Amino acid sequence: MGHSPGTMRARLLISSAVEAELRRLGVEPPAGGVRLERPANPDHGDWSTNVALACAKAARRAPMELASQLATALSSTPPAHVRAVEALRPGFVNFRLSPSWLWEVLPAVVADREESYARLDLGRGERVQIEFVSANPTGPLHVGNGWWGAYGDSLARVMERCGYETTREYYVNDTGGQIRRLGESVLARRRGEPVPEEGYQGAYVRELALEYDGTEDATPAGRFAAERILENIKATLASLGIVYDSWYSQASIEETGKVGETISLLAAAGLVEEREGATWLLSTKLGDTRDRVLVKSNGDATYLAGDLAYHRDKFLVRGFDRVIDVFGADHHGQVASLVAGVSALGVDPGRLEVKLGQMVSLVEGGTTGKMSKRSGNFVALDELIADIGPDATRLLSLISGIDQATTLDLDLVRRQSMENPVYYVQYAHARIASIGRVATERGVVRVPLDQADLSTLVHPRELELLRLLDSLPDALADACTTRSPSRITSWVRDLAGAFHGFYHDCSVLGPDISDDLSQARMWLVEASRVGFAIGLELLGVNAPEAM
């Protein structure tokens, strides 16, 4: 599982040879061993090491001098698979490999298949809770919620494949002032009156007013509306393949005394002070820029108090090893106080990660849409899904990192052309399926893999596909450690580009192709199918067999 034997064997042989040569030169290798990485520029070779830079100071040599000595020695007696070694400034040693190492990649991919290839154990069973979307149930989800929802769900998929035990959670803000304002808005619409200035104006409020037959009390009216809206939210997210393990009620925190218990724990730690008629968290003692109010002078607990009670439940009651919160960028100001509060509860703040999702804008006919839930002038996520489909919605939301503002051109997405990144990726998988259908029609059957002559795969398009398949475990590890599912999107798009090039330049079943080459290419197509299946599943996108 994980890396292919081709990668593992080639890496081990090269790193061992470099270590041996360092010792021959009287240089002690790094304590962690010689590390090999893929050069950022593919023209620089297949693998590279910065060991000369790492060891030069202790060895009292110039990095480039040491790199050149290593390259010269390793070129004279190269490790298996290595056809060229060169030194590049300021002190890298780069290796170019023969295709033989890539021929070991294909059997590993098709043997492990979707179930086991590129499955890592980085997490070693660590329990991680990922809380994402958590939009107030005061109106339909907007497009930004969908962007962050796809991020949270795909991050969970990536971490699960890397050996973490993940829990997806939605924190339901079902109490407080926004629920009362929602109720007041519903009641006003039911009476045929204007919605209060701070209320909710959308058409959905009119529909809820027609359904509600309760009292004129704003709180039960608001909770009735919130429950209906939450049902819609669940259905919308499910249509994107996002299913939560837990829907956690804010009311369950505030109405069970957990906020008071949490403030008492902080007070016992000497981190609470009463002043100006309010209760303060002395968060400056924990690195925050200022102290924060926990209970206002009117007796109402602040959002921070509720958040700390909620995070105390996450870490100290339910026992998650790590918590990842996905917030909108408008929550930026709350991060420092939340981290300080978690630390005050005795939790290592390094166990809390906060990811901030940036703005999403839609462009149609050259016009950019602005979104506001209260004004009713927003683009509902349901509308976007109905327009471009769930696959396009998810894939487009995962093209760039969550920390980058996004502008989505709806006119481009609707076009079924290679300019459309969703069509580009899915069409590559459909081409794989079409090759299989043609083979079936012609009665061509793949021979057992051990009977296929993979050494016939020497075309640059074929080798590019094999390199990409071999790099999937590294892309997955990178996506996991950086919390960036967009790294998988980039890999899938690269694989699609490589397959389109292969499809154009390398006939699989053509009359002028030898049986041996045809069989090897059929197995390469199958390995590519496995790669697409893994990558698209991590993104939550379907792999269609026809377009």
Nearest 10 degrees: Cα torsion 278, 284, 288, 293: 0
Above 70 in pLDDT, residue 376?
Answer: no
Q: Which two tokens stand for residue 28?
A: 């002690």
Nearest 10 degrees: Cα torsion 104, 110, 112, 114: 130
Max CA-CA distance within the chain?
A: 90
Topology (CATH) of 5-97: Gyrase A; domain 2 (3.30.1360)
For the residues of 41-87, what is the DSSP string, one character each?
A: SGGG-SEEE-HHHHHHHHHTS-HHHHHHHHHHHHHHSPPTTEEEEEE
- Arithmetic mean of pLDDT, 465-473: 95
Predicted local confidence at residue 3, as pLDDT: 56
pLDDT, one tens digit per residue, over 422-440 is: 999 999 999 999 999 999 9
- Arithmetic mean of pLDDT, 385-413: 89
CB count within 10 Å of CB 537 equals: 17
Predicted local confidence at residue 153, as pLDDT: 98
Contact 497, 76 (CB under 8 A): no
CATH superfamily of 127-357: HUPs (3.40.50.620)
Above 60 in pLDDT, residue 114?
Answer: yes
- Arithmetic mean of pLDDT, 450-461: 96
Give ranges for CATH 1.10.730.10 in the chain.
421-539
Give ranges for CATH 3.40.50.620 in the chain.
127-357
Give ranges for CATH 3.30.1360.70 in the chain.
5-97
pLDDT, one tens digit per residue, over 322-346 is: 999 999 888 888 899 999 999 999 9
- pLDDT confidence bin for 284, thresholds 50/70/90: very high
**CATH for the 421-539 domain, from 1.10.730.10, 3.90.226.10, 3.30.70.20, 1.10.10.10:** 1.10.730.10
pTM reported for the whole predicted model: 0.89
